[in-house]
Structures are given as structure tokens and as C-alpha cells.
Chains A and B, each alone.
Chain A
Amino acid sequence: MSAGRYRHDDEAARVWTGGYRRYDLVKEASIAFGVVLALAVVLTLLFSSPDERSSTIKSWSRTDPVDFVTTAVSELDGTSGLAGYGPPYNHNSDGQHIAFLYPQKWLGVNIAINPGQDLVLAPLQTINGRPDLQAAVSLYRAAPAQLQTAWTTAYTNALAKAKVNRDGTITVPAGRYGPVPLMMNALVAFAQSGGLDGALLTNKQFYQTDYTKALLYMADGGVLDNRAQAEHLAGDQWGMMNETGSYPGQVWLWLYTFWYQIKPFSNSANADVLVMAVMGVLSLAFVLVPFLPGVRSLPRHIPVYKLIWREHYRSVAATPAPAVAEHIPPPAFGPGGGPGG
């Protein structure tokens, strides 16, 4: 469509010089509200809403103590997802980037978490009446880094053959693990009693609302992931759009989740920042549609408008075309003297 033609369409739409009809805006809004209220109530009575109970570290450590301990050891020795995440939690990675842009790194560490200290050693040190445990923790802290790694690596490998005892603790084949097995069994008992959920929440004051540490801990293990996979909520399952159970989800996120399913996003370590960049550009384009040649002209070329305004075009066809476009003053009622509607 030519620029001149587009300009004509644009200018011609400024002022409506045609006819008006009586219209009750408040009545229409009231009816619309009544319709939506009725729809919401009917949908509620028919389907209710989902409310699947949260996982807790207590439930996780009870139902899958081996997975819990495996995750705890990885937090202790810095091999967990959280430990290597980078900002905003730590400096152990640069995080995601697009070309030379490193926004994750540039905006820094604002939620500093030291996984070994915050998720394992500090909670263990709150356990009273266990001098053997406190001695084990002290021994671990005092050991050189190389020895600590040797212990945790050997223990992690041994966990593949772990047995769960009746009391919920773990037994692994004999090996050189230093104080790690005692620490881990104390931690799993603490978790199974519910103490670890509380210890991870408490942060220098009584009242808490921040679940970051507990959630990151669970996210490093399999507890949330297994439930999500079963419910098709995982990222490679278009999960962003989905809801638990058979409820409709966040359908409006279809384009956000779409990119994660296709290359190059689906196998990129920078998938999140790439998708956010693409969606940022598309969102900007969405807002700026009136300024985009081609996009703004498409409605003229694909005449859906002829269906929408067919009544208007029929009444216009019934009146002869003016020899020269003439000005018709607006009627007495309705919007006083100005542009229509």
C-alpha cells in the first residue's frame, strides 16, 4: 500500500461526519458486567480451581532421602546447579549472555547465597545436643579443599548404591568419606523432622516471607521436577502455558514458550536471555504497530473489515456517491459537535 494511500486512510478516519443512533452506555456496561459475573460463577461451580499442596523439604527428605542427600552433598561441595548459577546468587559463573551483552553478570549478586554454608553447614550447626555432629562439622571445615572434595566425590559416587534404613537415614558401601556420612545423616533426620524447612526460612528475624533458599534447594533436587514432568509443566513440554490437572493454563504465554521448543533456543545454554530478547523485540513491535509499514497496512489488504462493517457498507451503497465529498454536520444529540462516538 502506498504511503499516500495510508495517509489518506489515516486522515479520513479523524472525524466521523455521518449519522448517529441512540445508545445507552451505562446499561450496556451493566449488562456486560452481569454476563461476566454469571460466566465466572458458572465456571467456578462447574470446575472450581486447582490447589495442589506444596512440596516441603520434610516431605522430600521422607519420600526420597537418597535424592535429598545427593542434592545436599552437591550443595556442600559446590557442584549443584545453584552453586554454579552465577548472579544474582553468586559469582561462580557469568550467567547467560547475548553476544557481548551480559545483563545477568552486569546487574550483580543481590541475593547472595553460599550453598555449602547456607544450605548445609549453618543448619547443621543449629542442631543441639549432638557434640559428635558439631565435631564432624568442625573437622570438615578445617580440612583442606582438596580433601573435602575427595570425601564428597567418593560419597556422591557411593550414593548410587545407597540403602535407606528404617529410620530414614542412608547407608552407603564402605569407603573414605570423612565426616560427610555423619553430617548427611544428621541433615536428613533434621529435614525429616521439619527443622530444615524452618531453618532455611529464618533469616535474622521472626517474621518471614522469603522462600528463596528452600525453593532453590528443592529445585536442585528431583522433588519439584518429578511432579512437574508428571503434570507436563516442564519447559520442553510447553510447560509455561500449562496448569496442574486438566485446567486451562496461561494460554497467552504461547509465544513465550514456543521459542523454547525450537532450535536454536531449545539446545542453547542462553535460551532464557535469547527468548526474552526476542519477546522484547516482538512486544515493542506490538506496541508500535501503528508505525510499522506493512503491518499497519495489512488490515486494508485482508478485508476482515468488510465483514465487521458490512451493515455500514450496505447503507452507504444504498445512497449515491457524492460528486464531491461534502461535509455533513454532526447531529444534535450524542457527543456534542466533536469527533464521533
Chain B
Amino acid sequence: MTLAIACPPMAAVFNLNHRAGYAHWHFFLMSVPNIIVIVLTMVVFAIAILAPFPGSHRADAP
């Protein structure tokens, strides 16, 4: 408990403790944070396979 008093409360920069927005289309109902994660996964995958990789033109080491 001494440590807890010594440290200031860890408040987040963004407070996410409120209702999420939702995308609703027919039976599809997804929270905005989850949509962000899914889209980010696809974007990161696309970047991973498309972005140039440094040093790929290096000659083989002797």
C-alpha cells in the first residue's frame, strides 16, 4: 500500500470507460474499437508485404 500512495494515480490520456460506437448493418453489429483493430490488422499486413525491405539489394556476404 505504501507503494500505491507513493505513486500518483495512473490516469490514462484517453478515457475509454464510456459506451463504444457501433456499426450496425443487418445482422452485422461491430464495435468501432474492434473495427479499428480488424482494419489495422489488414492494413499492417498489406504494408508488411508491400513495403520495401532495407538491405534487400545487398550482395551476398563472402
Contact = CB atoms under 8 A, between A and B. Distances in A.
Contact of B16 (A47, A231, A308): A47
Interface stretch (A137-145, A166-174, A242-250, A278-286): A242-250
A248 B60 CA distance: 44
Chain B interface size, as a band, is 20 to 34
Interface of A: 19-22, 44-48, 50, 52, 230-232, 237-238, 241-249, 251, 254, 261-262, 266, 304, 307-308, 311, 331, 333
Contact of A333 (B19, B20, B61): B61
Contacts of B50: 307
Given A20-B60, A232-B29, A246 B34 contact: no
B16 A245 contact: yes
Interface of B: 10-14, 16-22, 27-34, 36-38, 41, 49-50, 53, 55-58, 60-61
Contact of A251 (B20, B29, B37, B56): B37
Interface of B is mostly: loop
Contacts of A19: 60
B20 A232 contact: yes
A48 B12 contact: yes
B27 A261 contact: yes
Which 6 A/B pairs are nearest by Cβ-Cβ distance?
A48-B12, A246-B20, A248-B33, A246-B16, A19-B60, A22-B61
Given A246-B18, A307-B49, A241 B13 contact: no
Given A232-B31, A246-B33, A249-B31, A45 B13 contact: yes
